[in-house]
Amino acid sequence: MINPLLNKQHLKQYFLYGSAAALVYIIPYIIFLIRNDYENFYILFIGSGLFMLTIFIYTLKLIRQPYDKKRTLSMIFSGHLATITGVLIATVLVVMIFFFFFPNVFTTTHPDQIVEDLPAAMRSGKPSGILFPILFITTLGNFGVGSFISLITAYAGKLNQTKDEPVSLETRI
């Protein structure tokens, strides 16, 4: 018998909620690229907050599922898999959209044409210089908030915290 965490229903949920989290993160990212000003960098963190909200909604849904609501570890595992899926999809979308906005990523450009008011440390003369901080927020920031909210929700949202049924990550016979 297959592990319930890796059945088709759960895999579909990981992809669905991971994709939703990635898409709500991408909306503020596109707004940041359209506004084209370094002072609007905070918009990326608003996107991470929306990413966290989507993972929070998914972990709240897990509380109502019979297998997951009895096992805290399976809720944490499911939340992390949805988070990892969302981070991977968001990273691919960020790079694709960045190439759409800046087709000549690796050529020298005036720094104000990339993003206005860049600090001196980030002025490399190439659009790829701003891509690293954006990818840093996309990967580590979103993974951090997704992991945090799945841990908090798994423990705080569980109704009966006095006993926790053991979870097995191995297949059952």
- pLDDT single digits (tens) 82-100: 999 999 999 999 999 988 8
State if pTM tops 0.95.
Answer: no
How many CB atoms within 10 Å of residue 7? 12
DSSP string, 50-81: HHHHHHHHHHHHHHTSHHHHT-HHHHHHHHHH
Q: Which helix (H) or strand (E) holds 86?
A: helix 72-101
Contacts 24+ apart (CB under 8 A), 34-43: 36/115, 36/116, 37/115, 37/116, 37/117, 38/115, 38/116, 38/117, 38/118, 38/119, 38/122, 39/117, 41/133
- C-alpha pair distances (Å), 15 with each of 21, 124, 167, 173: 10, 36, 22, 27
Candidate from 2-6, 37-41, 136-140, 150-154 with smallest mean pLDDT: 2-6
More confident residue, 117 or 12: 12
- pLDDT single digits (tens) 18-53: 999 999 999 999 998 888 777 888 999 999 999 999
Beta-strand runs (E) in the chain: none
Candidate from 16-25, 98-107, 121-130 with smallest mean pLDDT: 121-130
Is the confidence at residue 17, as pLDDT, over 60? yes
Beta-bridge partner residues of 37: 116
Q: Are 130 and 98 in contact (CB under 8 A)?
A: no
DSSP 121: G
Average pLDDT over residues 48-75: 83
Distance CA 125, CA 145 (A): 32
Q: Are 30 and 50 in contact (CB under 8 A)?
A: no
Contacts 24+ apart (CB under 8 A), 66-69: 67/4, 69/158, 69/159
Query: Given pLDDT bands bounded at 50, 70 and 90, which one contains residue 1?
Result: very low
